[in-house]
Amino acid sequence: MTVTYLKQAARRPAAENNDIRDIVRIMLANIERDGEAGVRGYAEKLDGWTGEIVLSDSERRAACDRVPEALKADIRFAHDNIRRFAEAQMATIQECEVEVIPGLIAGQKQIPVSSAGCYVPGGRYSHIASALMTITTAKVAGVPHIAAVSPPRPGGIPDAIIYAMDLSGANLILNLGGVQGIAAMAQGLFGARPADILVGPGNAYVAEAKRMLFGPVGIDMFAGPTDSLVIADHSASVETVTWDLVSQAEHGADSPVWLVSTDRALAEGVMARADALIANLPEPNASAARVAWAERAEIILCDTREEAVAVSDRYAPEHLQVQAEDLDWWLDSLSAYGSLFLGKETTVPFGDKTSGPNHVLPTGGAARYTGGLSVHKFTKTVTWQRCNAAASRELAERTARISRMEGMEGHARAAELRLKGA
């Protein structure tokens, strides 16, 4: 068995983000010192925003009223699908109770975090779907306070994003982007509650701010540029496969796309077709996709489908699409991906926007060990226990002996107090 690269990206050294880290570290320190004044200063300097930070109820209603009814219907459709899927996930999270030994009862509870901060990107594109994905999922998980931020444009946050935030259940909306938006939610500024967890995609500065704040504050994941892989065999269409790859390359010049195929004719057809499809995109999409395709795309030819699985699992893509026969076999065989899209009738953009499963997913190979955003990220599985006198006596005797073997005399004595009924 062999793996042949018909197109291979140059291997890049590990990214050096020292400049970004230094900038973010300074910004976070300044905001911690200066509070809301520091946030306002960065909002004006970086986004040119001098208006109100907190979106008032009247401004929220006015923005929602300005959204065309047809677009509202589309957003509601997506919201309903995302909510239904999150509710189905929530139904799988159960509390339990078991008598471990006679008289010792232990259990687990599911408790939502008290507050969540949701970041909604708003740079090159208006990420309506990110508002739906993050806020709706937190709401279904039972989070009582949800703050949301998004970079303000000259007139503030786009109306459609505000509508999506409002529909999803955001308690507080702030006209903030970048590091300052993340810091405001983490610190609980402008009426927000200090966030227990920060979620949502963003640029390198947003990702670095989340990384630096992680510990005292939870985060969904360490995220880098989005990536996508398509597995295709002889049954796939060159046009469909190429568009699926090109559509993901438009995310940005650093977004890798990969094709793994067991059919040389299809693989070569995709190589020949990509430039023409990219040229059909508007700017700046075409420029971003052109660089991503030239510098980050790979086309890999495999002899067998088993080999294709091994290659895909090694890449562990954020998005994995299979356009091949025997879809159930692929579902059973693949094991490392953020989200899986099976068959020519589905496509990653469905998952990005409307179909329901969350689009906040692990990037850069992290799908080897973690999944994407879900209701589980907003809930804590905690344990409890209690025991009667008989169980307490047996536990005390065994705990004391183990503790002394470990050299932990205080533990042994605390256990032995229970032998005296203390």
- Is residue 384 within 8 A of residue 154, CB to CB? The reply is no
Report the distance separating Cα 141 and Cα 112, nearest Å.
6
176 Ramachandran zone, left/alpha/beta (phi>0; psi -120 to 50): beta
Report the distance separating Cα 85 and Cα 68, nearest Å.
26
Q: Kindly report the number of other CB atoms within 10 A of residue 101's CB atom.
A: 12
Return the H-helix or E-strand segment holding 198. Answer: strand 197-199
Question: How far apart, in Å, are the Cα atoms of 66 and each of 61, 153, 163?
Answer: 9, 16, 9
What residues act catalytically?
Answer: 318-319
302 phi, psi to nearest 5 deg: -120, 150
Handedness of CA 70, 71, 73, 77 (dihedral sign): positive
Report the distance separating Cα 362 and Cα 370, nearest Å.
7
Q: Kindly report the number of other CB atoms within 10 A of residue 402's CB atom.
A: 13
- Is residue 164 within 8 A of residue 134, CB to CB? The reply is no
Rounding to the nearest 10 degrees, give the CA dihedral for residues 329, 331, 334, 336: 180
Q: Which amino acid is at 314?
A: R
**DSSP code of residue 370:** -
Report the distance separating Cα 358 and Cα 191, nearest Å.
28
148 phi, psi to nearest 5 deg: -135, 140
Side-chain half-sphere of 210: how many Cα atoms within 13 Å?
Answer: 24
Secondary structure tally for the chain: helices H, strands E: 16, 14
Burial grade of 80 (CB within 10 A; 0-12, 13-18, 19 or more): middle
Angle at CA of residue 379, ends 143 and 24, nearest 5°? 80
β-partners of residue 218 are: 197
* Residue 350: partners with Cβ closer than 8 Å, 6 or more residues away: 341
